[in-house]
Structure 1
Amino acid sequence: MVSRYDSLSRAELAVLVPELLLCGHLIDRSGMAHTIAAFGREGMTAVAIEEWQLASPVYTRRMRQALNISGDGVDTVFKGMQLEIGAPPQFMDFRYTVIDHDHGEFRLDHCGALADVEPMGEEYVVAMCHHIEDPTFDATALATNPHIQVRPIHRPPRVPADRHPVCAWTVTIDPANTPPEPPRNAEIVAKSRAAQVELAPIERDGPGLHDYSGPLLSDIRFEDFSRGALVRIAEEVCLQQHLLTLGFRVALAERGDADTALDIARKQFTGIAGLTAERLRAALDLGDDAAALAKVLRLHPAWNPMAYVDIEVSVESVAGAQTVELRLRRDCDAVVDGSWPALIAPDHLAPIDAMARAVDPRFHTTLREVDERSLCVEIALAPEPFREAPEVAITRFSTGANFTFADRGTPLPLTVL
């Protein structure tokens, strides 16, 4: 087995992938609350811009290569957007129009991010929909064509307050457009092990689409992909989350002392770790015992893909009670990069507790052993349930916490008008 997702059926993978995309998007709901507390609204805005600018070009190129998405036109840009954590399906309801190779538009019929931010006031809406979106939309598109520009037709603050679509944008390719200079820290993420890790090629057998080389579709329906393609997509989406985390840590280091940056990164990890585990458990209809916890841990994006994060998860029986052991190799690529697994330490096990308590609130993590090569923890049931971690409660503020995906039927190809 070269992937932990090999244990899942095609149908299970089709359910898992949109969950991974949504949870990747919610990383910021976990991290930005603590960033605001440390650096204020303007500091949060600067961190958000930098993390997405550093991560999105890298993961866009990776997904294009993995799914044989060729070309350099607006339709290629839109395909990439459909498969990234910045635009999880339905929660960020992008609708695309292709005019020709060099011209297109998109609108958002629903924006979960806006639903989260509007209650915070107009200043936060402007920060997200103006200051953050302008450079980050361009950063994603520039990974496909260096002469592309994404510009607003209209965007929030909404006038009237219930205006739909909530925003609309043009996408234009013009050789006269001068590409912007890459961000100063771009190479830190671009040269990370997450950016360079090689994953197994898609097994091109069995039913379903093995890539996305065909026409741009109005929606991605993941059950139309083959099992092999879904395994690779799931692993790439996990890497997107790690790359965004690396960008987040770089941006934090630019603005705060080392202790503050590390504390915020750990709080971000704890919050999204718990909410992601909760959604994975519900999506796959798992129970609340040790076997269910072991499965959630093996599938959690913090510990994937296998080629990047080296862990072992096992279920043990001791005196009639079942416990879960998780062993993390401390020399694996994710730890070397400084991504989520690097934030685990003997006195910092809160993210694992958050994952475990999403399965049963009585689970508790204790250290078994640690040395230079590995860290091993045991997760067992305590007599009484624990209160939810405040970091998870903060992340639950997002409307994405309880978001439900709908069956939209057969997607249609989007052809040139």
Structure 2
Amino acid sequence: MSSYADLSRDQLAALVPELLLCGHLIDRSGMAHTIAAFGREGMTAVAIEEWQLASPIYTRRMQRALRFTGDSVETIFKGLQLDIGAPPQFMDFRFRVDDHDHGEFWLDHCGALADVEPMGEEFVVAMCHDIEDPTFDATALATNPHAQVRPVHRPPRKPADRTPVCAWTVVIDPAHVPPAVPRNAPLLANSVAAQLELAEIDAGEDGAADYSGPLLSDLRFADFSHAALRRMADEICLQQHLLTLGFMVAIRERSDADTALAIGRKQFAGIAGLTSERLRNCLGLGRDPQALATVLRLHPALNPVNYTGIEIALADGGVRLRFPHTSGARTDGAWPSMLTPEDLRPLDVLVRGVDPRFVTRLTATDQHGWTVEIDVADQPFREASEVAVTRFSTGAGFAFTDRGIPLPLTVV
């Protein structure tokens, strides 16, 4: 059973792009701490590895789930529209398909560039050249091993207000030699997250059950069925876990275990708190325990439930969470594994995204797991430094707009 089953179709349609955007902001949280530990060049290397490891796996998962498998440029572009690396509107990808093997995309707006440009040209080059060259290819290769993504133009922008901010060609050619598979790719390919089974989409519900039709200029999520939106939401949660698993593989390559865990917990705290805030606002919730329980049930760090095994319930005017000692997430070393009965800081930050007065406390442990209850303190806590770092991104306050009926970009 998906945690998203109790939401209405309209609520899910609003929530799915939020989950995509929050997944993108994971790097706004993690990379700040990576720069502090390893410098700009080290941060660049970590970013390349995490996306190379994660994106091919979750791209293929979404293709299978939404039934748009294939080996064409159109299939690559559909995947980008459901990728945390390209959340709609914030990363405003526009597409043109010429034929099966040729196409182009460009960005009319790039939230990531808006975040990085104030940091200087070296950081722009690191993102738009050093990171994007291998990671765009890694995403495309998930669809066709002979696909190559190459720039037409890209930042640093000259002139400074140039639009579109970048443009790229995608060409599939049997003569293209695929790059070598990353050495650590099996670590993610063999993870529980990569192989997790989720409920198939019921094709009998109102709305589109898949994305097998033509490529659309924008995805209007309200056009999809409730079952399709539930599956999207759970898949996007797995995208976030897989990206974090890739991040941790790259961090552990460059540090000792204690340092890696400390960086992972900071990344977790920063994105968890901001995500709670955005989920609460997206669904128009209050700040009471019931609102908190709703946010916890929907939070990507705690989903899908058959991966994390975390149970959430209202209890005695507060909220109770039950963490199992064994789960797929703990086996993989995903976010829930970074919480322990002795140190609940990332969870404290997460719940305070709903209201800064919430506080967690351990209430029980046994051979099967441990239990935490969340109460309301008399005074609000200060915003965590990890959240303040993540809030640097323009995505923290980004608002989606209704763009109306999307246009098909390929022949029906």
Whether the TM-score (by the shorter chain) exceeds 0.5 is yes
Q: In the alignment, what sits opposite 1:366?
A: 361
Q: In the alignment, what sits opposite 1:126?
A: 125
Q: Distance in 1 between matches of 2:267 and 2:366?
A: 25
Give the alignment partner of residue 357 of structure 1, picking from 352, 357, 377. Answer: 352
Which blocks of at least 5 consecutive residues in structure 2 are unaligned? none
Residues 352 and 358, structure 2, Cα contact 8 Å, conserved in 1? yes
Q: How many percent identity over aligned positions?
A: 70
Give the alignment partner of residue 386 of structure 2, picking from 385, 391, 394. Answer: 391
After TM superposition, the runs of 4+ consecutive aligned structure 1 residues lying more than 6 A away are none
Residues 246 and 339, structure 1, Cα contact 8 Å, conserved in 2? yes
Tell me by how many angstroms 1:375 deviates: 2.1
Residues 268 and 391, structure 1, Cα contact 8 Å, conserved in 2? yes
SS of structure 2 residue aligned to 1:145 = coil
Which blocks of at least 5 consecutive residues in structure 1 are unaligned? none
Deviations 1:104-153 (Å, cap 9, x if unpaired)? Answer: 00000000000000011100000000000000000000000000000000
Query: How many pairs does the alignment contain?
Result: 412
Residues 94 and 107, structure 1, Cα contact 8 Å, conserved in 2? yes
Q: Distance in 2 between matches of 1:226 and 1:397?
A: 35
Aligned ranges for residues 9-408 of structure 1 at < 5 Å? Answer: 9-317=8-316, 322-408=317-403
Q: Distance in 2 between matches of 1:241 and 1:248?
A: 10
SS of structure 2 residue aligned to 1:7 = coil
Q: Distance in 1 between matches of 2:238 and 2:54?
A: 10
- TM-score, with structure 2 as normaliser: 0.99
Tell me by how many angstroms 1:347 deviates: 2.7
Q: Distance in 2 between matches of 1:181 and 1:132?
A: 16
Q: Distance in 1 between matches of 2:145 and 2:341?
A: 45
Deviations 1:58-98 (Å, cap 9, x if unpaired)? Answer: 00000000010022110000000000100000000000000
Residues 99 and 416, structure 1, Cα contact 8 Å, conserved in 2? no
Tell me by how many angstroms 1:373 deviates: 2.4
Q: Distance in 2 between matches of 1:292 and 1:223?
A: 24
Letter matched to residue 333 of structure 2: G
Q: Distance in 2 between matches of 1:61 and 1:201?
A: 15
SS of structure 2 residue aligned to 1:93 = strand
Residues 98 and 416, structure 1, Cα contact 8 Å, conserved in 2? no
Residues 361 and 373, structure 2, Cα contact 8 Å, conserved in 1? yes
Q: Distance in 2 between matches of 1:376 and 1:165?
A: 51
Give the alignment partner of residue 411 of structure 1, picking from 400, 406, 409. Answer: 406
Q: Distance in 2 between matches of 1:286 and 1:416?
A: 42
Tell me by how many angstroms 1:162 deviates: 0.5
Residues 214 and 411, structure 2, Cα contact 8 Å, conserved in 1? no
Q: Distance in 2 between matches of 1:30 and 1:117?
A: 13
Q: Distance in 1 between matches of 2:270 and 2:297?
A: 18
Deviations 1:15-40 (Å, cap 9, x if unpaired)? Answer: 11000000000000000000000000
Across the aligned residues of Structure 1 and Structure 2, the Cα RMSD in angstroms comes to 1.0
Q: 1:140 to 1:372 in 2, by over 3 A?
A: farther
Q: Distance in 1 between matches of 2:303 and 2:235?
A: 9
Residues 76 and 140, structure 2, Cα contact 8 Å, conserved in 1? yes
